[in-house]
Amino acid sequence: MAIPDAVPVLGIGWDDVLFMVLAAALIGTGLLVVTMRDIIRCGLAMMACFGALAGLYALLGAPLVAAAQVLVYIGAISVLILFAIMLTETKAAPARLVFQTQAIPAAIAAVVLALIIALTVGSTDWGAVPARLDSATDAVARSLFRDFVLPFEIVGVLLLAAVIGGVFLAKRERSDPS
């Protein structure tokens, strides 16, 4: 049985449906990340947010970036953040006020920022083609290891420095040199 080109009742394409579902999931979980009281749940919502974003990358025809998003963000960074949450939360400390006193001006500023971005996007001609382009993985690899080989190496050194710096900063300092 062949799948029809468009959703039967609504008359819109499957890609559009997928985009809307992923966009709703992205914005919903993003809002949960910044508003929920329990910070562990914020971290789990952030993982769901990254998952929706990986779906959007796959929809945009960048499968390598989608895979890296799952590996790096959901796999590594989220786990790092959850570990840090568990190291810094004490059971005795109640989750008191979640927001600073300037939360309402911050909300107004964020809404204004979103409006400015939307207006700018709407009034600019980006020279975009009307159809999506897929980025082939072998072309990406060739570009990464030929044209961008210097940034690639610099990022490697940066990651090494960041790991060493992280270990040094988080190391417990001995008070007496014994």
Partner 1 sequence: MSNSLDAYLILAGILFAIGSFGFLARRNAISMLMSIELMLNAVNLTIVAFGSFVESLRTSSSVIALIVMAVAAAEATVGLSIVIAIYRNRRTPLVDEYDTLRQ
4 vs 122 by CB, closer to partner 1: 122
- Smallest separation, CB 91 to partner 1 (Å): 13
- Smallest separation, CB 37 to partner 1 (Å): 11
1 vs 167 by CB, closer to partner 1: 167
CB-CB contact of 62 with 135 (8 Å) = yes
> Rounded to an integer, what is the distance from CA 143 to the centroid of its chain?
24
- Smallest separation, CB 115 to partner 1 (Å): 9
> Rounded to an integer, what is the distance from CA 48 to the centroid of its chain?
9
13 vs 178 by CB, closer to partner 1: 13
Residue 110 burial by Cβ neighbours in a 10 Å radius (0-12, 13-18, 19+): exposed
- Smallest separation, CB 165 to partner 1 (Å): 6
8 vs 168 by CB, closer to partner 1: 168
What is the rounded distance in angstroms from the CA atom of residue 53 to the CA atom of residue 74? 11
